[in-house]
Structures are given as C-alpha cells and as structure tokens.
A and B are shown apart, each in its own frame.
Chain A
C-alpha cells in the first residue's frame, strides 16, 4: 500500500542522465549494430523517445561484411558475424547522420579502424557532428584490428590517445569481455584520456551443425549477445566501475529491472540491442518501466541508481 500511494503522489521521476558530458533525456540507448542508422526502427516508434542511439559500426572505407550465414540462435542468445558491414564514415555523415539529427536524441558514432591512425582520421572526419564517439576496440568479427586492440592494454591506450588527439566530442571506448582482466584494459584507456567506457561487446562463441559437422556461421565463430550474456555484462561493468569513468552498460538487457541492475552495477546509461529483435518496442518499454520502477521505489532521479549496488562483505 505505501508503495502505491508513493507512486500516485510523487511527481514523475527525472529520467535524465549524463554520460561523459552528454545529457540524455533517459538512460536507454540503442546499441551499435542492432539499430542500423535508425531508419528501420524509426518506422516503429519516434526515435526521439530514446536517450540515445549508437549508429552501426563505421570504418573509414565502406566494408562489405562477412559471407552468410551470419547468425545462429543459442540458448537465450544469438551469435552474429556481420563483420562491420557499413557504407563508410563519409556516406554516414552525408546520408545517414542528417536523418538521425532530426530526432531529439543523442547520436553516438561507433568507429573501428585497422590501426590507431585510422581511428584518429575517423574522429577528425566526424568532428562534433555526433554527440559522442564510441571507439570500438572490441569487434570479434573482423580479422585485423577489432578485438586485437581491445585485448592488449598498450594497444587500447594507443588507440584511445590517437582518437582523443583528434576528437571534438567525448570519446567513449567500447571494451570486450573476451579478456582475462577487463579492469586492466579499462585503466589503460582511462590513463590515455577516455571520456567514458562502453561495455560489453559480444563474447566470442561457436555453434556446430552435428550432422554436417560444419560451424553454423560461415566465419566459424561469432559474437554472443542477448539475455545469456547479462550476468557477464553486469560483472564486467561492476569490475570497471571503480575507476569512476562514466559507463554505457550493455549486454543482454531486455527489461526495465535489468536496466536498473545495469545502472546499479555502475552504468550511467544502458544499451539495448538484441532485445529489439524480439520486440521492436522493447527499448521504449524499458524507458517506461524505469519510470514506473523509480515511482514505485520513491526514486526522484534515475541517475541515483548509478553505482548503487550494495555488495556483500566477503
């Protein structure tokens, strides 16, 4: 009963958050690679209702991507091996960004390069046309670059520094969980000047057709996402939260309560990706659900959740 009274009487919670200096109207962000450049889901709902949108991963030159099959179902998850198919940063700036800019939502450009100089060049080309950069050093689906930068603290720092040197908007570095010590990588990119962290990218995985003995994916391995990775994502976010860098937390979130968990683990904003494939409106439902949760719990500002985990003494 007291809860219901609270919900009815207290003003709606303030859902706005700040991520690396960027104000988001709410903490829910569509993640890179699951949302294209917004056009498709823009047919389903008003993109202005999202806190932010991470555009599909970009490279300096257009990339064709990997041969199909590129997807496989897994228990409560999926593997993908898209391989950064994208039209290149210049086409993005010319043809896609103006569309995204029509909506009252933060736009984050996700960038990948073959070497630090390429990352830096992309940061320079994007300038301040995006609200932030998401520096992808964690794509498991490309041969050169990608994961290789995210698995080595020195390389991760080198890429971060190169981007920071040219960037005209905050640079958030996207980390991979496919490492033994994610905190060490986080520390390295923090030292190199990152404005925030984004995690987790997908976990490397494999499925095999037992009859043909062939991997289901044409690239053999792919990246695991969806509900199956949620606990890994929460653990990773919690592990790097001690640095005090703003975090965009993602991985397996499909409900408002899971988004709240992600914030409690240390995230300022929460990414939603694979959940959209089941329900195109899932991100919106999470926004609404967070508002309801805040009202129910008597939380005036949703950002109070960030880092609010009360770990047990061990």
Chain B
C-alpha cells in the first residue's frame, strides 16, 4: 500500500514519531503492526507496531537503531511510504481494569491500548535513562521508572508491577518491551495468577505468515510472530528457549 508521510520527527534521543495516511477496514487494533519499506534499497521490510490510529492516520513511534529504521528516520513529510498492514493479532481487551507495562521502545503500542481501553488502565513505563523517556504524557495514568533513576523512580517495571498486583484489583497485564523485561513481567503475573499478554518481536521477512522465519517458541512449537502474534499469552511463551 502506497501512502504519504505526513510527519516524521524526533521526540526523544533516536526516537521518531511518524504519521502516515492509512485507509483500512476494519480499523487496526492495538498490538497490530505495519510492515514498512524503509527505503534506501533495503530488501526486507521492517515491522513497526502501531502507536495509534485516528481518522485514517496511522501513528508509528520507533527507535532509529537498526539499518532500516535509521533510513526511515531520514524520510521527509510528503515522501511516499510503502507499507503493508495492519498485520498480526493484537491485544485482547475488554472493560476490566488492565495494567500496561512497557519498556523503552515497547511503550508505543501501549499508547494505542490506553487510547482504546474501555475500562480503567494504568501504565508502568520503564526506560534506560532520562534521554530515552518518551510518550509518558500520552497516558492519563502512568508512572515512570528508569534503570539509573535519572527520571522518575529508579527501578524496573516488573518490580513496580509486583506492588500493583499485591495491592490493586487488576484483571490483566498487557506488556511490550525487551525480552528480559517481558520474562520478568510474565513471572510476576504468574505468581499472582493474573492474565498476561505480551507483544513479541522477531526478525521478519514476509510479515504475513508464509515464510516461517519469525519463529518464537510457544507451547512446545514454533509459532509465527507475524501471524500467530505478535501478541501471545505469556504463560505459553517459552522464555528460555
């Protein structure tokens, strides 16, 4: 699908906020991603989770940290953008209260979750340091942690999560971020018997479920992150595989 870049600007160190027109029916749901031709002659597209979708405009917040996303960060408004999507299975949400747990560049899809939530949500957002903090203002209720304490509280999301699950009445946890964080979050949820959905990342080629390169270990099998996920039930994910 060819569309136009409406905006592509830095909002934190190496973090960009891109808006592009995307006509699609049905509307994308939180947790889904688009598969983008970043430009510059790269062969493979790059998957990026949707940060939001409003009035036919997709919002993508991404870190320019790899070859593809660095090239994407140099694209200008008005340029054409080639993206497939929305793709994948998103988060399952209902009106029950949910905790959103995000780490670093895993935060953007949770913005979309908060935006579409029908029930009470609270976000626990972890970042490496103050430079990396982004999107916190997009949540009505959020707390910020950093690994080094340079912004918000010093600590890790799963620790803050534990405190919430001990005291509060939360039906589920929706999480996205680096694997060590997700593993820790899954463990805390399991300890408290709370449902946990995690959004995983893997290198992709087709993005639609046909090539099997995006495998992750789930329930004794390899599942496709692009088509069976990217959101999985944390209890089924083989964290140590």
Chain A positions near chain B (C-beta within 8 angstroms): 33-36, 39-41, 43-44, 56, 64-74, 76-78, 80, 82, 85, 226-227, 274, 276-278, 280
Contacts and interface: CB of A to CB of B under 8 A. Distances in A.
A70 B213 contact: yes
B8 to A, nearest CB: 21
Contacts of B205: 71, 78, 80, 274, 277
Interface string B219-234: 0011000010000000
Given A64-B222, A277-B45, A36 B211 contact: yes
B74 interface: no
Interface string B181-223: 0000000000000000000001111111111111111000110
B183 to A, nearest CB: 15
A185 B210 CA distance: 30
Contact of A78 (B37, B44, B67, B241): B44
B43 A71 contact: no
Contacts of B44: 71, 73, 78, 277-278
Closest CB pairs A-B (n = 10) = A71-B213, A36-B210, A40-B210, A40-B209, A70-B213, A277-B205, A71-B203, A277-B206, A40-B208, A68-B215
B210 A276 contact: yes
B215 A78 contact: no
A76 B208 CA distance: 21
Given A73-B42, A73-B43, A65 B212 contact: yes
Interface residues of B, number: 29
Contacts of B42: 73
Interface of B: 37, 41-45, 67-68, 84, 202-217, 221-222, 227, 241
Contact of B211 (A43, A72, A82): A82
Secondary structure call for the B interface: loop
Contact of A65 (B68, B202, B215): B215
B203 A227 contact: no
Given A41-B208, A70-B212, A227 B43 contact: yes
B211 A80 contact: yes
A34 B43 contact: no
Given A73-B67, A227-B43, A34 B214 contact: no
Given A33-B212, A65-B222, 5 more contacts: A40-B227, A56-B212, A64-B221, A85-B215, A277-B211
Contacts of A227: 43
B69 to A, nearest CB: 12
Contacts of A68: 202-203, 213-216, 222
A166 B230 CA distance: 42
5 contacts: A34-B211, A66-B215, A68-B214, A80-B211, A277-B207
Contacts of B216: 68
Nearest to A218: B215
A69 B41 contact: no
Contacts of B221: 64
A126 to B, nearest CB: 21
Contacts of A76: 41, 43
Contacts of A80: 205, 211, 213
B214 A71 contact: yes
A288 B209 CA distance: 25
B84 A280 contact: yes
Given A68-B202, A71-B203, A278 B43 contact: yes
A30 B216 CA distance: 25
Nearest to A64: B222
Q: Counting chain B CB atoms within 10 Å of each CB, which of A39, A67, A71 scores highest? A: A71
A274 B43 contact: yes
A82 B212 contact: yes
Nearest to A63: B222
A69 B202 contact: yes
